[in-house]
Amino acid sequence: MSDNFLFADEVEGDEPTIHGSWKVLIVDDEPEVHAVTKLALNDFQFQHKRLEFFSAYSGSEARKLLLEHKDLAIVLLDVVMETDDAGLQVAQFIRGELQNQFVRIILRTGQPGQAPERQVIVDYDINDYKSKTELTAQKLFTVIMSSLRSYRDIISLEQSRLGLAKIIDASVDLFSSHSMEQFIDGVLQQLTSVLGCDENALLVSSSLVAGNVQTTDPHDLVVFAGQGEFEQQEGRAIKDVLEPNLLDAFEEALTSKDIVYRDNYLVAYCCSKFTQGSLLYVSGIPGPMSQNQRKLVELFAQNVQIAYENVQLQNEVEDTQREIVYRLSEAVEQRSVETGNHVRRIAFICYELAKAYGLPDVEAEKLMFAAPLHDVGKVGIPDTILNKPEGLNDTEWQVMKTHASIGFNILKNSKRAIIQAGAVIARDHHEKWDGSGYPAGKKGEDIHIFARIAALADVYDALRHRRCYKEAWTLEQVMVEITEQSGRQFEPKLVETFKTIVGKLEAILQKYPDDDTVTAV
């Protein structure tokens, strides 16, 4: 090991602001090598980041640190330690087991003959090879600088690749709230990559698509998408997420409706036609931004809001359609002197049953929105029959049963998937598992699963509430009845599913009660 290290004279001036660090792992069994390396690189900076050193004195220690720190930028690796090839085994561990192609491996050896340079570079995917006798302080500085530049560029490309993959995945179904989060998450990653930032980024808005959270105060902002330390913060108020100095910057950007540049981060106002606007936050900017970079931020701020508002408009259309379904169903229920909450309960009960039964999310949601239409055919039943408190005679019962076919005929010609599902449910929700139901006497799995679920949900809710012809039943009475009807009126598997989630279903009854409360257990 050479003592011929070169140290530059200190230059007076303002200390540059430091933002983060580059992680460097020193793997060598000689403590002096660790000490001298840290001393030589003590004042090293690259893109306003210092070096953060980690020390390992054997191959086994190196493996442990490599597992703990996935974001190491450089490994300064000795060859001969506890064994003659311990360092080479570490290199193989990095590239083979960890599949880490990002970290730059610089091999430092005091015995070049032990590990021939040509063979090592080829066989172990080493990025640089130095003899300890030739590695002066200046050469060490140079090799670290070049390695960090390579690492930065590789990570930037990887972030771009990941961001593009997210955008491609999201573009399959851009207008669902989940894929919109994916889309913006990917674009955030692309932007931070292009600007050379770290991965801390945030998009907040006064109107949040995911979860239908709407705020009236333009300064009451919530997180829409986040990267880095803001990941998994979606839906939270920024006052609960950000520190006071960041909140001030957000307030300034919202008030000025412009881009605020501070220290090593920016907050960009995203203009809007339909909401009070959104704000984009990106941190870890490595230095002064060029005019092109600023233009990129401006374009992003404009276009991400356009995509965001397209989703809002799509959700508004869908919400309007769903509300029409609820209103129509509630109007029918009012004719039978029942509160409108029955149809809301049926919707959520069906959703929980469908999910527990194993239906895909998209099918469970379709059932939830279509289930309120199950009794729409009652619009064609006379009030004298619909609201008769005593039992119906045979003639009246035959009229009453026609509501299934009436409902189907009202809905059957629609081209909308939810209305089509509603038609099937309206027609078949009085069919029974054993074939004794109406209107067609269908049996078993010939009855659509939507209708089987809606039938159980309808009976459960009707029994648990007072009707003009009966009082509300206790949960115990309802459980006995539904169990007895397993294999007769209801599918046995569905009954077992019902039993496993009855607690969730009871919570729905409590959340959407009729004017008279649900009977206590």
Per residue in 125-140, pLDDT (tens digit) is: 888 888 887 778 899 9
Q: Which helix (H) or strand (E) holds 27?
A: strand 21-27
Please give the pLDDT value at position 269.
84
Look over the chain and give the mean of its residue pLDDT values, rounded to a whole number: 82
R_g over Cα of the chain: 33
Q: Which helix (H) or strand (E) holds 478?
A: helix 475-484
φ, ψ for residue 79, nearest 5 deg: -90, -55
Out of 37-41, 304-308, 354-358, which region has the weakest mean confidence (pLDDT)? 304-308
In three-state secondary structure terms, 51 is strand
Known catalytic membership, residue 415 = no
**Angle, vertex CA 239, rays to CA 235 and CA 242, nearest 5:** 95
Please give the pLDDT value at position 447.
97
Give CA separation, 416 vs 275, 411, 475, in Å.
29, 10, 37
Strand 21-27 relative to strand 49-56, pairing: parallel
Question: Which one of the listed residues 378, 412, 415, 504 is annotated catalytic?
Answer: 378
Please give the pLDDT value at position 19.
63
Please give the class, per CATH, of domain 21-153: alpha beta
User: Which CATH number, 2.70.98.30, 3.30.450.40, 3.30.50.10, 2.60.40.10, labels domain 173-302?
Assistant: 3.30.450.40
Any bridge partners for residue 283, and if so which? 265
| CA–CA dist 480, 482 (Å, integer) | 6
Please give the pLDDT value at position 324.
72
Q: How many CB atoms lie within 10 A of CB 409?
A: 15
In three-state secondary structure terms, 19 is coil
For residues 306 and 473, which has the higher predicted lDDT (pLDDT)?
473
Tell me the two tokens of residue 281. 């936050």
**pLDDT-derived band at 515, boundaries 50, 70, 90:** low
- CATH, domain range 336-511: 1.10.3210.10
Range list of H helices, 260-338: 291-335
Tell me the two tokens of residue 119. 């063979």
| CATH 1.10.3210.10, the chain: domain bounds | 336-511
Out of 79-93, 307-321, 490-504, which region has the weakest mean confidence (pLDDT)? 307-321
| CA–CA dist 77, 87 (Å, integer) | 6
Out of 75-84, 131-140, 417-426, which region has the weakest mean confidence (pLDDT)? 131-140
| CATH 3.30.450.40, the chain: domain bounds | 173-302
- Kindly give, in sequence order, each residue whose CB lies less than 8 Å from that of residue 405, ignoring residues fewer than 6 positions away: 377, 427, 439
Give CA separation, 308 vs 272, 313, 428, 512, in Å.
10, 9, 40, 32
